[in-house]
Structure 1
Amino acid sequence: MPSGGGGGWWKTLGFVVFLTVCLLPNTVIGEDIDAEDRLMVDLFRGYNSLVQPVRNRSELPMIVKIGMQLVLLINVDEKEQVMHTNVWLTMKWDDFQLKWDPRDYANITQIRVAPEKVWLPDIVLFNNADGNYEVSFMCNVLILNTGTVLWVPPAIYKSSCIIDVEFFPFDDQLCSLTFGSWTVSTTILNSKQQ
């Protein structure tokens, strides 16, 4: 064993052991990470779900395409003038920060993530009749490698509907559901029927 000089070789050996223990496992683990795990880490590094996904103000208004599938007409209350429905909303938009090349990630072309991980439009039912403006279930969001984001949450709504029973029982009723952003003007976020 070398001697003298204040134990410099121990410091060197300690440093080599430190590098081996700390850095080598990261390299091995990094090589073992599943492609989807790597993709998730890469996509959401620095992503802020509170910021509307536009590169600059010239891209405004941002377009959110909205569709709706009626699952069940639960009830129409003529006296209270309220329609109770079970629906699936469909919201679709582009998020430039959520694009990737599938060749870099084992040809993965889509992923599903929890809704709180991504920016979501604050689309609500304006003609709500019971004060419950939110969707019923915060289901996962589908993200395509092109940056297209698709969210299809189920919802049960009670909406106001002016009902005219003058020609009962031969009347036709037309009840609409009016959706839009609660806090953002149409100059910043524009919803289009899908």
Structure 2
Amino acid sequence: MATMTVFAFVLLYLCYFQNVTGVTEREVVDMLLTGYQKEGRPVQDPTQAVVTSLDVFLIQIVKLVPQRQVLIVNLWLLQRWKDDFLSWNPAEHGNISSIRLGINKIWRARLVHYNRQHEEGWSKTPDTNAIVRSNGEVLWAYPITIHSTCVLDIVNFPFDVQRCPLKFGSWTYDASSLKLLNVSVRGNMDEFIENGEWTLMSFDLEVNHVEYSCCPGVLWDDMTYTITIKRRSKFYVLYFVSPSVLMAFMAVCGFWLPPDSGERLLLCFTLLLSLTWLLQVVTHHLPDTATSIPLISAFFIATILLAGTSAALTIFTLSLHFKTFDLQPVPKWLRYIFCLGPLHPNIVNAPKANDHEDMDASFVTDDAMPMEALQPSRTLRARNVLQHLKDEHQSMSRYGRLEKEWKILAGKIDRCLLVAFFIVLVVLTGGIFGPHV
């Protein structure tokens, strides 16, 4: 009798266990999808809106393409909504409280990225499974790489801060049919991978209710995540700014070279061509826009003008140094500015033309002159020769002094230009890059 009781108890237990655990997830799926229509909104009351929440995880900033003004980012998107037609009682279905369904088999909000740019148009959304809970709550998470348009502000390049919006919303459901709800006050950055070119400053969120011109009186919900990033400027400072500052400094130092070296113009033009080439290289890192001039481009243009002006003034000072024709005394105002002192008496008293009788004529008339007049004539001719030699010596001495004064003037102008251009270079560099370094 006891054996029969135990046997009956075991049989009842097995039957009960079989009834509880015999239901599989497949059977739950079949039960839910039988007669399910994924095209209609999943609400029992058609006047109610489907409340959908969106949570965006920023994983990685892949690249910011300046020429196309496109930001490429890796995201994880998590959507939540309630489907009234995907609910069941776990107690009646083997205590199964959640299942996985292919997203293509059920209704979804089909949120799109409004400012997305893709070469093939709207790319396909990853076909990942959605988690469906017994109360009808649906959780759908998937990774995606987005090419988003981003209007760049390059005024402070390479110390610029960019703000790129990511706008998500429904393309077909207005706010009365689909209500967007934010999970948090900002985007999720917990899984973010650092970028070598950009520093992530913030990932803000703004929920908007917009009325478009196509549909007057109808509001549309969208969630706009704004990625704020700051450029890491060390690369550009090291490889672009530093060489340009050094070359501009070398152009200024050209005024320190002695004019007789013959290398001043070659140095100026070489540096000018190098700065122009560097400017062309920098433009490849910038978008094609004419709305603003980047900081670094303004600096390069200024240094090119500085080097060009240096070359032009070098030509001017060389023309003063090697002035060899039509030598005139240095003007008084220049002598006063550059402290050349008073004029030398030899320069002030220029030799005049010889008013004595022509010596060649005396040589011609010697044979015709009487003997008593020959001796005074020879004395006069010798005096004229000595006077002529004296005048030639004074003229050469005056020419040498004039040439020396012009060379001294050119040297002093060089030193003044060296100081002036150095001050301009320091002010230029500090004024442009000082507030950002």
TM-score, with length taken from structure 2: 0.36
Q: Give deviations 1:156-191, integer Å, cap 9, x for gaps.
A: 110101110111222211111101111222221122
Larger CA Rg, structure 1 vs 2: 2
Q: What is the Cα deviation at residue 126 of structure 1?
A: 0.2
Alignment length (residue pairs): 164
Residue 172 in 1 paired to residue 128 in 2?
A: no
Query: CA 1:152/1:145 → structure 2, altered by over 3 Å: closer, same or farther?
Result: same
What is the alpha-carbon root mean square deviation over aligned residues?
A: 2.0
- Structure 1's 56 and 120: CA in aligned 2 closer, same or farther, altered over 3 A? same
Alignment of structure 1 residues 5-16 onto 2, 5 Å? none
> How far apart are residue 134 of structure 1 and its match?
4.2
Shift of 1:135: 4.9
What SS does the corresponding residue of 2:162 show, helix, strand or coil? coil
Q: Does 1:41 align with 2:30?
A: yes
C-alpha distance in 2 between matches for 1:164 and 1:70: 22
Cα distance in structure 1, aligned partners of 2:51 and 2:124: 20
Match for residue 128 of structure 2?
A: 139
Query: One-letter code of the match for 1:187?
Result: S
Distance 1:33 1:117 in 2: 25
Q: Deviations over 1:116-145 (max 9, x none)?
A: 111011211000122643454110011011
Counterpart residue identity of residue 155, structure 2? E
Q: Does 1:148 align with 2:137?
A: yes
Matched, 1:97 2:89: no
2:50 to 62, 67, 70: 62
Q: Which has the higher strand share?
A: 1
Task: Report the TM-score when normalising by structure 1.
Answer: 0.77
In structure 2, relative to structure 1, the CA distance for the partners of 1:43 and 1:136 (3 Å cut) is closer
> What's the CA shift for 1:34?
3.9
Q: Is the 8 A contact 2:59 2:75 kept in 1?
A: yes
Secondary structure in structure 2 of the residue aligned to 1:39: helix
What stretches of structure 1 move > 3 A for 4+ residues in a row?
31-34, 131-136
Q: Specify the alignment match of 1:106 in structure 2.
A: 94
Partner of 2:40: 51
Contact 1:135 1:154 survives alignment (8 Å): no
Percent identical pairs in the alignment equals 29
For the 8 Å contact 2:22–2:94, the answer to whether it is kept is no
Unmatched tracts of structure 1, length 5 or more? 1-30
The DSSP-based 3-state class of the residue aligned with 2:166 is: coil
Separation in 2, partners of 1:33, 1:92: 30
Distance (Å, rounded) in 1 between the aligned partners of 2:100 and 2:152: 41
Q: How big is the shift at 1:56?
A: 1.8
Alpha-carbon offset, residue 33 of structure 1: 6.1
RCO comparison, higher one (Cα < 8 Å, 6+): 1
Specify which structure has the higher proportion of helix. 2
Match of 2:71 in 1: 83
Unaligned runs of 5+ in 2: 1-19, 184-437
- Aligned residue in 2 for 1:115: 103
- Structure 1 residue identity aligned to 2:144: A
Give the superposition deviation at 1:32. Answer: 9.7
